[in-house]
Structure 1
Amino acid sequence: MEPNNAPATLGYVSNDGHFFSCRNPVVMQQAFHVIFVADRSSSMSLTDRQPLRNTPASDRIIQRSNNRFGAVLSSLYGFWSARAAAVAGRQSARRDSYSIILFDRSVVDAVVNDFSSSPDQLLDVVLRHNTSVGTNFTAAIQRAQLVMEQHWSTERTPVVIFLSDGECPIENQTVQDLCRAAVHLGKALSFHSVSFGQNLYSATLRTMFQIALEIQNNAPRDALAPAAVPSSYTTALDTVQLAETFLGIAESLTKPRGALIH
């Protein structure tokens, strides 16, 4: 059967031409706009933590950023690869979109609302960027809100993964504005703050998570995506823990009901 000749009722036509009266399981799979917000301040140039070794991307990352920032890029690559493998297992096209915001005292949009780039292509883009001076959480969160709003889709749940190795003052209102904007547009934000370093310097990141989780828990349920991905806070002391954190978030998007709050 040709897809255009399918009966006018609930159902779908498979790749081999069979009509099924149930909803397409690929369409039912929850999709996300994942906005990565990563610190690239001068402390990220320290070499006490380095990229993962023995991965397909290790050599490229080590050549450009053999430091904390490179460790972050390793974890991003692992996240993208895990999501790509999940899509390949369903034999479907990627429905997630990715945005990557890098910040120091200012912000740069490395990738915005990308649907098609492979993990290697995404890595090539972020490898063009180096560490710089300063840290501005406020500018980073405000840019994340702008990107989320400008590229809003009712088909995709917004997810922000915010990573830093330090602290920076930010008003609670700034984080509240981001989270409430998502609720106003129709879907609660899933916010994941990741502290890459000692827990001593992560009070701000923990507060950001607590604000986001409270707003998420009090938001109306999304009928199109009833399986929520709870916001989370995680401390990663080294490169391996950081990679595990990102893989855990990727897994929580694949199986939303199994998400954990740290």
Structure 2
Amino acid sequence: MDIVERRVDVGSSVGGQQGARHDSYSVILFQSSITNAFVNDFVSSPDQLLDAVLRYDADGGTNFTVAVQQAQSVMEQHWSTEWSPVMIFLSDGECHIADQTVQDLCHSAVRLGKALSFHAVSFGPDGSSTSLRRMTQIALGIQNNAPRDPLAPAAATAASSYTQALDTIQLAETFLGIAESLRKPRGSLIH
């Protein structure tokens, strides 16, 4: 299970370089404890990022609370007004989390200046996804009621979402769909 935090560039390129990657990635792996696979990575290629994650094994236990609290800490520590925070929360869904923990995460992003785009992806049975669905409802409610970023067009916001992906094909399609929803607004924002 893991959290992928992506901060999406909503403005200028770094150093004026065209075609350079401008997004920052953090991956927090969680079970009963957490591991930061990488934090605020601007330079690794997608293959390098995948290789870094594949070094870890999952061996049971799930604690959504410590995972979300760590994601909030990473987000706050590396906050920049140039980025829009996007979080992908991937799990089998078999854990409970208090609404307040998710509210704190989302309100923190709003307080810092931009609403969080939260995407829960369940790879477990539908009956185990209640917490993931609730997390998405909370995030979407806060996102929809947050002040709009005056520097970004309204279409530049990817709405928080919940998806169930029971096989690798569905999982790949889910990630491609999220990526596409993030790519559309970037095309209108980056030269």
TM value normalised by structure 1: 0.63
Q: Which moved more, 1:197-206 or 1:179-188?
A: 197-206
* SS class of match (1:220): coil
1:116 correspondence with 2:39: no
| Residue of structure 2 in register with 1:206 after alignment | 133
Larger radius of gyration: 1
1:174 to 2:101 alignment: yes
Aligned twin of 2:162: 233
Distance in 2 between residues matched to 1:178 and 1:97, nearest whole Å: 18
Deviation at 1:133, TM superposition (A): 2.9
Q: How does 1:212-231 map to 2 (within 5 A)?
A: 212-226=139-153, 227-231=156-160
1:62-81 per-residue CA deviation (whole Å, 9 max, x = no partner) reads: xxxxxxxxxxxxxxxxxxxx
Show the counterpart of 1:246: 175
Query: Contact (CA 8 Å) 1:197, 1:238: kept in 2 or not?
Result: no
Whole-Å Cα distance in 2 between the matches of residues 109 and 224 of structure 1?
31
Percent of counterpart pairs with the same letter? 71
Regions of 4+ moved over 4 Å: none
How many residues align? The count is 173
State the distance in 1 between where 2:151 and 2:59 align: 41
Deviation sequence 1:33-75 (CA, Å, 0-9, x none): xxx617xxxxxxxxxxxxxxxxxxxxxxxxxxxxxxxxxxxxx
CA-atom RMSD, angstroms?
1.9
Match of 2:55 in 1: 128
Consecutive unaligned residues in structure 1, runs of 5 or more: 1-35, 39-89, 258-262
- Residue type of the alignment partner of 2:171: L
Q: Name the SS of the counterpart of 2:40 in structure 1.
A: strand
1:197 is aligned to 124
CA distance in 2, matches of 1:97, 1:238: 27
- Matched residues in 2 for 1:197 and 1:169: separation? 14
Name the CA distance, whole Å, in 2 between partners of 1:254 and 1:195. 23
How far apart are the structure 2 equivalents of 1:137 and 1:127?
21
Q: 2: distance between equivalents of 1:229 and 1:161?
A: 12
Structure 2 length normalisation: TM-score?
Answer: 0.86
Corresponding residue number in structure 2 for 1:158: 85
Q: Hey, what's the Cα distance between the residues in 1 that align with 2:121 and 2:185?
A: 19
1:185 matched residue in structure 2: 112
Q: Which runs of 5+ in 2 are unaligned?
A: 5-16, 187-191
The separation in 1 between residues aligned to 2:185 and 2:130, in whole angstroms, is 27
Give, in whole Å, the separation in 2 of the partners of 1:182 and 1:149: 8
Q: Distance in 1 between matches of 2:110 and 2:102?
A: 13
Helix, strand or coil for the counterpart of 1:234?
strand
